[in-house]
Amino acid sequence: MSLHAQLALTRGSFSLELALDAPAGQTVALVGPNGSGKSTLVEALAGLLPIDSGEITLDGAVLERPGDGIRVRPQQRPVGVSFQGLWLFPQLSVRDNVAYGPMATGTPRQAARAGVQELLKRLDLVALAQRRPAELSGGEAQRVALARALALRPRLLLLDEPLSALDIEARPRMRALLHELLAEFPGPRLLITHEPLEALLLADHVVVLEHGRVVQAGTTAELRSRPQTRYAATLSGVNLLSGTLEADGSGWLLRTAGPALRVLPEQPTPGAALHATVHPAAVRLLEPGTPAGEATSWTTRVESVELHDDRVRVRLADPPGFVAELELEDARRFGPGTEVRAWLPAKALSVYPRMVP
Amino acid sequence: MLAAASLAESFHELGRAYERGHPGERLVFSFAGSQTIAAQLRAGASAHLIATAHPAVMERLRQEKRVLDVDEFATNRLVWVFAGADPPASTAELARRLPNSDWRLVLAAPEVPAGRYAQEALERMGLREAAEARLVSRELDVKGVLAKLQLGGADAGLVYATDVAAAPGAGLTVLELPEAAQVRAHYRIAAVASQKRTRARAFIGFVRGREGQAILRAHGFGAAS
Amino acid sequence: MNARWVGLALWLAVLTGLALLVLPLLGLLARAPWSETAALLTSRTVQQALLLSLVVSAAAVALSLAVGFPLAWLVARRSFPGRRVLRTLLTLPMVLPPVVAGVALLAAFGERGLLGGALAAFGVRVPFTTLAAVLAAAFVAAPFLIATLEAGIAQTERRLEDVAATLGASRWHAFRTVLLPAIRPSLLAGIALCWARALGEFGATITFAGNLEGRTQTVPLAIYQTLQTRPEQAFLLGAILLLISLCLLAGLRGGRFAA
């Protein structure tokens, strides 16, 4: 039981082209900035948007293949979808919302209602069964949307931003519930999110989508340690620098558009295109003019200072977007606009091959 | 001035002629079925003059002391207008073919003078039942009858001679009624009681005078009896 | 401006509005000779007019629904070249003087009309028939239904029907269970407006269908004719029509004022 999608489609000026595989029993997280095409993919997989070329197969059965003129209507696809925005039917009760699928596919009303009772129990909705969507909280509504998607026992589950309707405080509980539900679901699961934490906690595999193309795909561990794009790096909370490797006396230097970085590559090849990541906490900020020794250092200006929990994130002017994380007392010395010397040791930088230009 | 619908064209011209001869005077007209203008007068419409197409209407107003200086100023007669295909050459032929035809007949409703006159005429022609059978609409004023004949839909109808005097219109045939069956419509004009009547009487004099009568004649009206 | 004066002005406006709208209705109800109701209702002419009015207006509403619903859906949901033109055309009968509407209908369906000539060849003559009365009423009343429905449909989220599709609902099932319940207030309001307009139609009816008892004389026509000779009876008939319309409107919109 698995999903195999290799498709291309154009919608207005936006084009989506990707290959995606999700085996049964696995949760694949699809992450990407707004406008990258995530929701478009959901619509295409659900059958609401036709693809221009390629194919979508689920468990070996072809759902869509324009080349052969095959296109299974959304009604016929065994796909359960929880949409961003939820879209519960406002005139129906919670129970009737969940039972909508079975009722629409021929099950008599009473039987359908009885049939979803287990699902309501599983998602703790029995007490709310008679309520209307307008009377529900964000979390309750999301549970209804999930139950509704599961009611027809689909073979592929698509969840589009399942935590977006919830307050921050309510999210951990929902995350835990999702974790259980996803684990119980036998088929492949696709989870769309722009929250790095969700992706990393709930998924086994992550696919990064930017501008309608897949820029990186791998396990969550791989994504964390070796992000290939700025966006992917942001998900993991690290700084990303890219450059070419060159020998420098006894060591190696990564020439970037900004500072030249002293690095410790594993298998150095002169001229190799590499990425380098460094965690913001490993960056130290010193007074300008402080000698640096063997470590990489460069002088730049402070762009902005932000408070995150009890750490301070200092954004530097060069390289653009580069962040250093400091303790509160240290940060006091560096207000916006002040000149500062950034300092990071070679071992703080993790270098790896660059796959994406 | 309130006036019967069938007086529209002629009174517009009478008004213009009067204004030319009496600078400073202005005439404003309101045309509708005779019953309607009588009702308007009763409801309080501020008019100086009123002209009706049926004597009974004016008589009632006179008894109610709402009008004074009542005078007959013109007469009218009815004519058949035929709009369908294969028009009859004479009223006699029309009367003969009517009962068995598929013609659609339009008449004014009996509540309006034109309708009352038409019923009388049909009675005299012995066509009342035949007409009833072929009737498709009782129009609420005589202009409506003509409109139905002109716009298509109706085949035959009875209207005032003055309605078709100028030009009957394309595709319409006008047939005169035989003298025995003809009804005379008597038009009366009067000054409204509550108003100052000098100027009203002047206009009545004009309408009954040589110039006024000439205009009325030109529109197809007959002389007052 | 002093808030007090503004409040006063508002109250004045409200009272004037009430006077303008409600006083004539109250006046009619007050002047109608209610003691003659029994005599009136047993008169054949009146019975025919009442029956005809109900039948013609109901048929006009049905016709408006059959033709108007798809049109409203089309204009609300699909974009196509000329969409705005179509929308304007569909609301045109609302601003057309009813008599002009009647003339327009004659121009289309009268013997010399665009379609009438062809129909006449088949022996079908439309003017002066009850069908003509239905067409006249539908022509002037349908735009009210279409405009209301179009607004209602445009407001519904198309996404909900997409969701229904992913849950296995056929287009028809989704229409019945998702769209119809959502536009129910607009639908009822539209039908109420359409019916009221059709009931009161006069100008187009008399111009296109004529005025004959039992065939085309609806209550408004009967009222106008009766007004010539027996105005009191006309008031009574008018008051009765007013009450019927009130019941209709109340029945359709009843407790559903809050959508």
In chain A, residues with a C-beta closer than 8 Å to the C-beta of C160 are: 87, 89
pLDDT at position A357 is 56
Digitized pLDDT (tens) for each residue of chain C, 259 residues in all: 688 899 999 999 999 999 998 898 888 888 888 888 888 888 888 899 999 999 999 999 999 999 999 999 999 988 889 999 999 999 888 889 998 999 899 888 887 778 877 887 787 888 888 999 999 999 999 999 999 999 999 988 889 999 999 999 999 999 999 999 999 999 999 999 999 999 999 999 998 998 988 899 999 999 988 887 788 888 899 999 988 888 888 887 764 544 3
- Nearest Cα residue to A140 out of A174, A181, A89, A113: A174
Alpha helices in chain A (DSSP H): 38-46, 94-98, 100-104, 109-115, 117-122, 138-150, 171-184, 196-202, 220-225, 230-236, 328-331
pLDDT of residue C259: 39
ipTM for the whole predicted complex goes beyond 0.90: no
Q: Which residues of C touch B139 (CB under 8 A)?
A: 206, 210-211
Strand, helix or coil for residue A264: coil
Phi/psi at C78 (nearest 5 deg)? Answer: -105, 145
Compare CB distances from A79 to C157, C166, C174 and report the shortest one's residue. C166
Chains that touch C (3 or more CB pairs under 8 A): A, B
Indicate the pLDDT class of residue B167, thresholds 50, 70 and 90.
Answer: low
| Partners of A341 in the β-ladder | A286, A299
Contact C216 B137 (CB under 8 A): yes
CB nearest A75 (choices: C170, C178, C181): C170
Strand pairing category for A296-308 and A61-65 = unpaired
C96 Cβ partners below 8 Å, 6+ apart? Answer: C104, C140
- DSSP letters along C210-233, please? ---TTTT--HHHHHHHHHHH-HHH
pLDDT at B168: 66
A-to-C residue pairs, Cβ atoms closer than 8 angstroms? 57
**B218: which residues sit within 8 A by CB, 6+ positions away?**
none
Look at residue A303 and tell me whether its pLDDT is greater than 80: yes
Q: Is C59 left (phi over 0), alpha (psi -120 to 50) or beta?
A: alpha
Q: Give C61-66's long-range contacts (Cβ < 8 A, gap of 24+).
A: C61/C138, C61/C141, C61/C145, C61/C191, C61/C194, C61/C195, C61/C198, C63/C134, C63/C135, C63/C138, C63/C142, C64/C138, C64/C141, C64/C142, C64/C145, C64/C146, C64/C194, C64/C198, C65/C145, C65/C191
Euclidean distance between CA atoms B116 and A288, whole angstroms = 114
Interval A184-196: pLDDT, tens: 999 999 999 887 7
- Residues in C 75-114 with any Cβ partner in B closer than 8 A: 103, 106-107, 110-113
Tell me how many residue pairs between chain B and chain C have CB atoms under 8 A apart.
69
Task: Say if residues A117 and A78 touch (Cβ distance below 8 Å).
Answer: no
For the stretch A253-300, pLDDT in tens is: 888 888 888 888 888 888 888 898 888 888 888 888 777 677 788 888
Mean pLDDT of A346-355: 86
Query: pLDDT for A137-193, tens place per residue?
Result: 989 999 999 999 999 999 999 999 998 888 888 888 898 999 999 999 999 999 998
Cis omega (within 30 of 0) on the bond before A319?
Answer: yes
Among chain B residues, the shortest Cα distance to C112 is held by B152
Give pLDDT, residue C140: 95
Q: Which two tokens stand for residue A238?
A: 């690290």
**Residue B37 confidence (pLDDT) above 60:** yes
Residues 6+ apart with CB under 8 A from A300: A316, A317, A318, A339, A340, A342
The whole-number pLDDT of residue B102 equals 86
Span B76-115, pLDDT tens digits:
999 999 987 888 888 888 888 888 888 999 999 998 888 9
* More confident of the two residues C254 and B163: B163
Average pLDDT over residues B150-154: 79
Task: Check whether B53 has a pLDDT greater than 80.
Answer: yes
Record: contact C166-A80, CB cut-off 8 A: yes
Residue with the two structure tokens 């992706």: A199
Task: Write out chain C residues lying below 8 Å of A104, CB-based.
Answer: 164, 167-170, 173-174, 177
Closest CA to C151 of C259, C61, C75: C75
Half-sphere exposure of C234 (CA within 13 A, CB side): 14
C-beta atoms of B137 and C210 within 8 A: yes
- List C-alpha distances in Å: B66 to A6, B42, B179, B193, C230: 94, 8, 35, 5, 19
The C-alpha of B17 sits at a distance from chain C's nearest C-alpha, in angstroms, of 32
What is the per-residue pLDDT across B128-143, written as a single tens digit (0 to 9) for each?
999 999 999 999 888 8
Cβ(C48)–Cβ(C212) below 8 Å: no
Residue-wise DSSP of C24-38 = HHHHHHHHS-GGGHH
Per-residue pLDDT at A356 exceeds 70 = no
Question: For residue range A2-60, what is the model confidence (pLDDT) as tens digits?
Answer: 899 999 999 888 999 999 999 988 899 999 888 888 999 999 999 999 999 999 999 88
Query: Is the minimum CB–CB distance between C183 and chain A shorter than 8 Å?
Result: no
Q: What does chain B come to in residues?
A: 225
Residue C173, chain A, CB below 8 Å: the answer is yes
Helices first, then strands: H and E counts in chain C: 13, 0
Over its C-alpha atoms, chain C yields an Rg (Å, rounded) of 22
Of C162, C168, C177, Cβ closest to residue A48: C162
Q: How far is CA A127 from the centre of its chain?
A: 33
- State how far the Cα of C56 lies from the Cα of A136, in Å rounded to an integer: 47
Which residue among C164, C167, C181 sits closest to A152, beta carbon to beta carbon?
Answer: C167
For chains A and C, tell me whether 3 or more CB atom pairs sit within 8 A of each other: yes
Could you say which of C157, C165, C177 has the minimum Cβ distance to residue A48? C165
Q: CB–CB of A22/A3 below 8 Å?
A: yes
| Sign of the dihedral defined by the CA atoms of residues A129, A132, A133, A134, in that order | negative
Per-residue pLDDT, averaged over A219-244, amounts to 85
Whether residue B151 and residue C210 make contact (CB cut-off 8 A), yes or no, is no
Q: What residues 142-171 of chain C have any CB closer than 8 A to a CB of chain A? A: 157, 159-160, 162-170
For B5-25, what is each residue's pLDDT tens digit?
889 889 999 999 999 988 888
Residue A206 has pLDDT above 50, yes or no: yes
Residue entry with tokens 């029907």? C161
Taking the alpha carbons of C24, C35, C242, B5 in that order, is the dihedral positive or negative? negative
CB < 8 Å to B154, chain C: 127-128, 210
Of the residues C156, C167, C179, C187, the best mutation for testing chain A's interface (the one with the most A CB atoms within 10 Å of its CB) is C167
Are the C-beta atoms of B142 and B112 separated by less than 8 Å? yes
> What's the number of CA atoms in the CB half-sphere (13 Å) around residue C16?
6
CA distances from A37 to A21, A193, B61, B79, C21 (A): 17, 12, 84, 81, 56
pLDDT band with cut points at 50, 70 and 90 for residue A105? very high
* Distance to chain C for B114, nearest Cα, Å: 13
